[in-house]
Amino acid sequence: MRILHVPYSYYPDPAGGTEIYVHALANWQRTFGCEVAVAAPEKSDRRYDHDGVDVWRFGVAANPALGELYGEGDKTAAAGFAKILDECRPDILHLHAFTGAVSVLLAEEAERRSIPVFFNYHTPTVSCARGTLLRWGSEICDGDLKNNPCAACTLNGYGVSRTAASMVSWLPLAASRKLGDMGLSGGIWTAARMPELVDTRIRAFHRLMRISRRVFALCEWTKSLLTRNGVPAEKITLCRQGISWQPLPPRADRDHGLPLRVAFLGRFDPTKGTHLLVQALRQNRDLPIRLDLYGVRQLEGGDRYAALIQTAMGDDSRIRLLPPIPGNEVVPLLRGYELLAVPSQWLETGPLVVLEAFAAGTPVLGSDLGGIAELVRDGVDGVLVKHRDSAAAWAEALSMLCANPDMLTSLRAGIRTPRHTRDVALEMIPLYEMAAGSRKTTVCQ
């Protein structure tokens, strides 16, 4: 059976959690006899081998229209992807993103060729136009997609006041679409088009869900969101994330002297909340903490956020900005830390780094949001911080752990063995086989 995975990006580009997940999943599916390839958008078409996997990159439009970004989809990317489907001829298309380039148009190309489509809901951006599933930036949203409240919340995310955003969200769709037909965008025009743009995205999401033969929810909150938005229960499979790791020797107890060693590993992006950790230490110069930030910089936004973090750090020698490390080195690295900090300010479906910390025997200090709250048991194998609290709450939690070193020993003893990617692959393959049915097994040319 031939499987084609499509993430938002792929190696050798800087990798986030989704890319790490796809890479590990592809390797295990190959171990169980599947033929696997990966396709991902890039500036131009090319093909290469990465770690034994055939990788296809398809070009994207240089200046995509606003409507394409919000749901209509990049037609240039879809045309390039169609050629890949014709050359690669997969039995299964497995999508891991929903963006302007990895859009419903790709799923429609597969549907035309009778290729079953599978979809992984990896991040809130799949359904939430604001991207965080935090209504007004603070309240956990149930994810129920409705034009007016979603348009208002999205506008508020761009800095528009709640009152003004709510007023604009009631602009008639016909009028909002007319502005789009006229090609108007930027500033007030984009704001006035938001009802149309959000409507476009919601419709595209529902089209993608209708085409998808199976939708994988990586945690409970995602499963609930999908059900709430009308995705049939028989289409949804709860398939929690796993990591590829080897059992390690028991971790030796360390004399919990100070400073407390804390690590952050993840993308440099405001949704990941790295700034809260830096602010927490800057507000409390006496905290005996050594904070190491291993940040992945994806595109220009990652570089901008990293620059903000660098500025916020000032001359604080307790904080170090370090380059990301290869995935196979994460677990050994985390064994050298007392804590992994995961201050995310959006609903995670993992993140994988929590499982990596547990594989290392390292407790987690994380936000009480989404997948983090599903993975971390407060007071058992980690500590959860209220997501609406300020940096002062993170400083308070860190101070508490510094003052109670015995608690770290207790938390470490409460860590359970994390799930393995091998088990994820074994759960997916029978579902692929059922969907492929009598389709002839093919091989990339």
Q: Please, what is the average pLDDT of the chain? A: 92
Please check the confidence at residue 75 and state whether its pLDDT lies above 80.
yes
Q: How high is the pLDDT of residue 440?
A: 47
Measured CA to CA, the distance from residue 101 to residue 68 in angstroms comes to: 8
pLDDT score, position 251:
65
Q: Assign 257 a pLDDT band (cuts: 50, 70, 90).
A: low
444, pLDDT greater than 50? no
Q: What is the pLDDT at residue 338?
A: 94
pLDDT in tens, 289-302: 999 999 988 777 88
Q: For the segment 307-333, what is each residue's pLDDT rounded down to a tens digit? A: 999 999 999 999 999 999 888 899 999
Interval 7-29: pLDDT, tens: 999 999 988 889 999 999 999 99
The mean-pLDDT minimum among 14-28, 126-140, 182-196, 260-274 falls in 182-196
- pLDDT of the residue at 256: 56
Output the 3-class SS for the chain: CEEEEECCCCCCCCCCHHHHHHHHHHHHHHHCCCEEEEEEEECCCEEEEECCEEEEEEECCCCCCHHHHHHHCCHHHHHHHHHHHHHHCCCEEEECCCCCCCCHHHHHHHHHCCCCEEEEECCHHHCCCCCCCEECCCEECCCCCCHHHHHHHHHHHCCCCHHHHHHHHCCCHHHHHHHHHCCCCCCHHHHHHHHHHHHHHHHHHHHHHHHCCEEEECCHHHHHHHHHCCCCHHHEEECCCCECCCCCCCCCCCCCCCCEEEEEEEECCHHHCHHHHHHHHHHCCCCCEEEEEEEECCHHHHHHHHHHHHHHHCCCCCEEEECCCCHHHHHHHHCCCCEEEECCCCCCCCCHHHHHHHHHCCCEEEECCHHHHHHCCECCCEEEECCCCCHHHHHHHHHHHHHCHHHHHHHHHCCCCCCEHHHHHHHHHHHHHHHHCCCCCCCCC
pTM for this entry: 0.90
pLDDT reported for residue 445: 37
pLDDT surpassing 50 at residue 282: yes
Residue pLDDT, tens place only, 360-371: 999 999 999 999
State the helix-helix crossing angle for 17-31 and 421-436, rounded to 10 degrees. 70
Point out the least confidently predicted range of 137-141, 247-251, 253-257.
Answer: 253-257
pLDDT at 179 over 90: no
In angstroms, what CA-CA distances link 173 with 154, 180, 428? Answer: 16, 11, 40
Instruction: State mean pLDDT over 218-237.
Output: 97
- 385-394, 408-417, 421-430: least confident range: 385-394
- Quick: pLDDT tens for 162-177: 999 999 999 888 888 8
Q: How confident is the model at residue 136 (pLDDT cuts 50, 70, 90)?
A: very high
> What percent of the chain shows pLDDT beyond 90?
78
